Amino acid sequence: MSNRMWGGRFSAGPSAIMEEINASIDFDRKLYAQDIAGSKAHAEMLAARGIISKDDAGKIAEGLDAIKAEIDGGTFTFSRALEDIHMNVESRLKEMIGAAAGRLHTARSRNDQVATDFRLWVRDTLDHVDGQLADLMRALVKRAGEHADTVMPGFTHLQSAQPVTFGHHLMAYVEMLARDRGRVQDARRRLNECPLGSAALAGTSFPIDRHMTAASLGFDRPTANSLDSVSDRDFALEAMAAASIIAVHLSRLAEEIVIWSSAQFGFVRLSDAFSTGSSIMPQKRNPDAAELVRAKAGRIIGDMNALLIIMKGLPLAYQKDMQEDKEQAFDCFENLSLVIAAMTGMVDDLVPNVARMAAAAGSGFSTATDLADWLVRVLGLPFRDAHHVTGRLVAVAAERGIELAEIPLADMKTVHDGITEAVYDVLTVENSVRSRTSHGGTAPDNVRAEVKRWTALLG
């Protein structure tokens, strides 16, 4: 029996194993809306160029709309024997409108068809991610404004370093996410060229208008080289690279939420909405949402790596290996969308323990740098000398088990006779953060200015 997809070249159908490994309908059905949109644009162009009749184009458009309604409504029957979304749609179209359906595939191939569908899907997905990131940024900016004056420890090497404000800490992630949005938007701009009309690999002899189909589908222009059009998936790789960086940023914030919500830190509390319990330990409150955000970063990065490996040794043009591109991208962005939503929920949900943060902010001699700066600014010491004097005072405090502000002035003078009572003004965490007024610094007024700026930018 001749294969109904491939025509007269094959006299028999594929084996069950071949059908199993070859079919992609189980996952590429996600492209149905993009596939139908591309087919409608193609049919409209074919009619405009006189390649098919306007009557046939009208029947094709009506049939495709009906098919989309069936899929939207869950009444469409997908067939694995028809391999992919393209052939499933075309087969159903033939059932609906008859011979006119066979004219739809004029001057195109499944190669340029899937490349177009996939670009449309990635473009739609990037638009969705961009909106989600904006929502997360708004949540962070709102919380930062509420806590512009809330002091907390700033860390390097996860050791207490200098006091900062909780608002300033949250605004650091706003800056990261802004760059993430820039990468998403850049990837979208670069992918926004239309492969449709490149056919299998060499273009077509039909007098098609690729600029028309590109414009109809919202692309900036058609792709310039038919081989490149069907051969590369760098648009998906770039989008997934951007997704991986986003996931890393969210994983870092998730890790901090895990640390902050521990009994040892106690800086924040998540409600029951984003916590779970233990099957054996009734006292436990586990920040599972944050932990899963952290874990899914690995999955997202793995998806990108898988596609890189799939593509790395392929000659031009289309190879069947590239069928494996979509599952990676679908998984990557489904999980990314979920973790952005989860993080936005957690940022809205978490309740900072202001008193615990403030108490911790002054521990670990966190104002030592302020002391060194005071020695430079007031006594005129070279910074390296000031660093040495401060180090000796830290050693005194550590030996006695007290903080720097608790060292009597007389004892400070034994280390450097020029130290005066005024030094105690710089040893409080509140004065420390207020003094960090340099551009980008943690001073509360700086934080409020950044909150105001980002609130306006985000709308």
Catalytic residues: 157, 278
- Long-range contacts of the stretch 282-290 (C-beta < 8 A, 24+): 285/261, 287/257, 287/258, 287/261, 289/342, 289/345, 289/346, 290/254, 290/255, 290/257, 290/258, 290/261, 290/346
Q: Which residue type occupies 118?
A: F
- Provide the token pair at 427: 């040893």
Say how far apart CA 378 and CA 285 lie, in whole Å. Answer: 49
CB 25 within 8 A of CB 89: no
Give the burial string for 121-133 (b: 16+ CB within 10 Å, else e): bbbebbeebeebb
* Bridge partners (DSSP) listed for residue 194: 222
Say how far apart CA 201 and CA 417 lie, in whole Å. Answer: 82
CB 203 within 8 A of CB 197: yes
Strand ranges in 355-445 using DSSP code E only, listed in sequence order: none
Say how far apart CA 94 and CA 401 lie, in whole Å. Answer: 84
C-alpha atoms less than 13 angstroms from C-alpha of 344 in its C-beta half-sphere: 17
